[in-house]
Amino acid sequence: MLLIHAHLQVKPDQEQPFLEAAKVLVSASRAEAGNTGYTLLKSTEQEYSYTMVEVWKDQAAIDAHNASPHFQEFVRQAAAFSAAPMKLEVFAGEPVEL
């Protein structure tokens, strides 16, 4: 299992268009075969700061996602939303039952 935290800083005047595009991305990504979680979180500490938390079955699922039309469209639009370069963190993990 691979987890991705994609940290995005959004331009204040682009927050609504960002949220509209993110809604499409999240919905389509959740429907992908290798996806087990895709959530957009908003920071409570820093304005206009968001994190996409993604959970993927394997690298092949991530590769398919990155090539998907909905992801490519979001990337195309991202330059207009972004106030800073995206910070990407990737983790390998396994679920733990408590």
**Phi and psi at residue 55, in whole multiples of 5°?**
-125, 125
pLDDT at 13: 97
Q: Report d(CA 71, CA 76) in Å as an integer.
A: 9
- Give the CATH number for residue 23: 3.30.70.100
Tally the domains of the chain.
Answer: 1
Residue 37 falls inside a structural domain: yes
CA distance readout (Å), 51 to 5, 29, 38, 63, 98: 6, 15, 10, 20, 26
**pTM (2 d.p.):** 0.91
For the stretch 46-61, pLDDT in tens is: 999 999 999 999 999 9
pLDDT at 95: 84
All residue ranges of the chain with pLDDT < 70 are none
Residue 30 falls inside a structural domain: yes
Residue 98 falls inside a structural domain: no
What type of residue is 4? Answer: I
Q: What residue numbers bound the domain in which 50 lies?
A: 2-84
What type of residue is 85? Answer: P
